[in-house]
C-alpha cells in the first residue's frame, strides 16, 4: 500500500498541535519538526504502508489557477503574494525538507503545481492501493473504492485522523467522491476563495448534484425549459455559467503533472545517517525520529 502525504497538512497540524515551549537547543521552536515525524510514526504504525511519498507544495497558489480564479486562496496571501505562515514555521519546514531525503523518505513536487496535483498524479500511476493523507477536503475527489483509493483526513488532528472510503464521503457530505468538486463549487469554499452560486447552500447543492448528476447535468437541465429545476435555482445556475466553468477547472486536481518517477520504498537504513544525526541534534528531535524508525521497522 502506497501512502501519499500532503506534507504541509501534516506540518501545519504539528505546529498548532504542540506547545510553543518545545525548542531546539538554540531556542528556535521545534514542535513542528518533532510533531511531523511523530505524525509519520503514528500513521505508519496504524496503516502499515509499504511505500511513502511526502508531496510538497511546489507552488501553493499556481498562476494558472489564479488566471482562472483571481481570488484563489487570497485570504492566505500576503500583499507580495507570498503565503502568510505562522512565526517560526518556515525554519522548521526547511528542517523537515532536509531530513526527509537524509532519512531516505521520497519526496515529490513541481514548481507550477500544488501538492494536491502531485498526489493525484502519483496515485494515477500505480495499481496498488493508495492512502492519501491530508487535511484538505479537495482531495476527497480522489476517493475510489474500485481502485482502492482512500483518504486519511487530518481535520481533527493526526492522532484522530479519520479514514474515508466512498461510503464515508457520501455519509459526511451527501454526495459521492466523484461529485465532491461539483458540490464544493456550488456551495462555495471560502478557504479557497470560491464564492459558490448565489442562493445555493450545502443542502441545496447536495440535492441538485444528486438529482442531476453533477454540474454538467444541472446546467443542461437549467437550460431546458421543460426540466423541473426550480425557477430561482435555474436563474442562479444560468447566471453563474462563467464562474462554474472556471471554478470546476480550478478545483479539479491535475493528475498529469510532469513529476519524475520516485522510489517510494521505505528505507531499511537511513540514507545519510550523518546528516540525520546533525539535524536531529540541531532540532532536538532524536526521540521522534526513533519512534518513526520503530514504526516502519527500520533496523
CA 185, 135, 102, 265 dihedral sign is negative
Per-residue pLDDT in tens (0 to 9) along the chain, 299 residues: 999 999 999 999 999 999 999 999 999 999 999 999 999 999 999 999 999 999 999 999 999 999 999 999 998 899 888 899 999 999 999 999 999 999 999 999 999 999 999 999 999 999 999 999 999 999 999 999 999 999 999 998 898 999 999 999 999 999 999 999 999 999 999 889 999 999 999 999 999 999 999 999 999 999 999 999 999 999 999 999 999 999 999 999 999 999 999 999 999 999 999 999 999 999 999 999 999 999 998 75
As a whole number of angstroms, the longest Cα–Cα distance in the chain is 72
Q: How far is Cα 144 from Cα 253, in angstroms, rounded to an integer? A: 14
| Whole-number pLDDT of residue 299 | 56
Q: How far is Cα 57 from Cα 75, in angstroms, rounded to an integer? A: 18
| Whole-number pLDDT of residue 289 | 97
The answer to whether the predicted template modeling score (pTM) of the entire model surpasses 0.85 is: yes
- What residue has cell string 442562479? 236
Q: How far is Cα 44 from Cα 239, in angstroms, rounded to an integer? A: 48
Q: How far is Cα 52 from Cα 67, in angstroms, rounded to an integer? A: 33
Residue 266 Cα distances to 21, 53, 104, 254, 287, angstroms: 32, 9, 7, 26, 19
For residue 143, what are the contacts with CB-CB under 8 A and spacing of at least 6?
149, 150, 151, 164, 165, 166, 169, 177, 180
Amino acid at each position: 500500500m502506497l501512502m501519499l502525504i500532503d506534507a504541509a497538512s501534516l506540518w501545519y497540524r504539528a505546529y498548532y498541535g504542540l506547545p510553543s515551549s518545545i525548542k531546539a537547543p538554540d531556542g528556535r521552536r521545534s514542535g513542528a519538526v518533532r510533531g511531523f515525524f511523530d505524525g509519520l510514526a503514528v500513521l505508519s504504525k496504524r496503516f502499515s504502508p509499504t511505500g511513502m511519498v511526502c508531496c510538497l507544495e511546489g507552488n501553493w497558489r499556481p498562476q494558472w489557477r489564479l488566471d482562472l480564479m483571481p481570488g484563489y486562496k487570497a485570504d492566505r496571501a500576503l500583499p507580495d503574494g507570498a503565503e502568510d505562515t505562522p512565526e517560526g514555521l518556515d525554519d522548521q519546514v526547511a528542517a523537515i525538507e532536509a531530513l526527509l531525503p537524509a532519512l531516505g523518505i521520497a519526496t515529490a513536487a513541481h514548481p507550477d503545481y500544488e501538492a494536491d496535483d502531485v498526489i493525484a498524479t502519483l496515485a494515477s500511476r500505480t495499481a496498488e492501493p493508495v492512502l492519501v493523507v491530508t487535511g484538505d477536503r479537495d482531495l476527497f475527489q480522489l476517493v475510489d473504492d474500485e481502485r482502492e483509493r482512500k483518504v486519511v483526513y487530518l481535520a481533527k488532528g493526526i492522532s484522530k485522523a479519520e479514514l474515508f472510503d466512498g461510503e464515508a464521503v457520501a455519509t459526511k457530505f451527501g454526495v459521492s467522491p466523484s461529485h465532491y468538486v461539483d458540490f464544493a463549487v456550488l456551495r462555495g469554499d471560502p478557504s479557497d476563495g470560491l464564492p459558490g452560486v448565489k442562493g445555493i447552500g450545502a443542502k441545496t447543492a447536495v440535492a441538485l448534484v444528486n438529482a442531476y448528476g453533477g454540474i454538467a447535468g444541472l446546467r443542461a437541465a437549467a437550460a431546458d425549459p421543460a426540466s423541473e429545476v426550480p425557477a430561482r435555482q435555474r436563474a442562479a445556475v444560468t447566471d453563474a455559467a462563467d464562474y462554474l466553468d472556471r471554478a470546476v477547472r480550478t478545483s479539479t486536481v491535475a493528475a498529469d503533472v510532469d513529476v519524475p518517477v520516485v522510489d517510494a520504498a521505505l528505507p531499511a537504513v537511513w540514507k545519510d545517517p550523518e546528516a540525520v544525526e546533525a539535524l536531529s541534534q540541531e532540532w532536538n528531535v532524536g526521540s521522534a525520529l526513533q519512534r518513526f524508525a520503530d514504526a516502519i521497522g527500520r533496523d
